[in-house]
Amino acid sequence: MVIHGYTRTTSDHYVFVKQFFEGNFIILLLYVDDILFVGHDMSKIADLRKELRKVLCYEGFGTAKQILGMHISRDRSSGKLWLSQEMYIEKILDRFNMGNAKPVSSPLAFHFKLSSKQCLTSKKEKEEMKKVPYSSVVGSLMYSMVCTRSDIAHSVGVVSRFLSNLGKEHWNAVKWILRYFRGTSKVCLQFGTGKSELVGYTDADMAGDIDSQKSTLEYLMTFAGGAISWPSRL
């Protein structure tokens, strides 16, 4: 894309931008076999489609409906757009036999006080816990958290601290998050209801980690009414 006048962004090497003299621009996302592009000038979009067809021998490039496992829906009359991972979440629940689990209302209940002291010590217990797909579940949750589910950022950050040495209570916490997903699989990101400006929020739990006594710092950035970044770091 560089030879066509596009510049690779420094923040994400899969994203390219091309600016035009009249102030218009096109943002292009390339990731393996997924392509997404956006711009104001439809004639410029049409030119891009022609160039991509020459290179990729593909006649698609219609209205975007899905990208990287996220479903895209929109209401043009109200100027709203939604990103959803409902199908992905349902697959997670079925894969880990939580499809019929009882839903809960919070991603991590207050009674979970996770620490390294809850890790297993006996060889027999550790062998038993090897049968638990802890890493697989946390990895699946993490992908959803990174893409659309800011509401589980803190809880996934907590359970991911025990990937190498876990206990039964850590596994119970992970299953709790899956139960939360059972009741919130339709939750999605919505854009277009606010001003086109960045708004940030931040918070910390003040020495909330039992083992290190460190604080977990979290912030949320929104644009056009929707969340775009939500790190949670110890």
Asked whether residue 213 is domain-assigned, the answer is: no
Where residue 202 falls among pLDDT bands split at 50, 70, 90? Answer: very high
Phi, psi of 88 (to 5 degrees): -65, -45
162 and 131: one domain? yes
CB count within 10 Å of CB 221 equals 15
pLDDT tops 80 at residue 142:
yes
Cα-Cα-Cα-Cα torsion 194, 221, 204, 120, nearest 10 degrees, comes to: 120
Q: What is the mean pLDDT of the chain?
A: 89
102 and 48: one domain? no
167 and 133: one domain? yes
pLDDT tops 90 at residue 160:
yes
pLDDT tops 70 at residue 58:
no
Q: What is the pLDDT of residue 146?
A: 95
Helix/strand/coil for 139: helix
pLDDT tens-digit readout, 73-128:
999 888 899 999 999 999 999 999 999 999 999 999 889 999 989 988 788 888 88
188 and 121: one domain? yes
157 and 90: one domain? yes
**Distance of alpha carbon 14 from alpha carbon 70, whole angstroms:** 17
Task: Using the 3D structure, point to which of 178, 193, 208 is the last residue of a domain.
Answer: 193
Structure tokens at 50: 């022609």
6 and 101: one domain? no
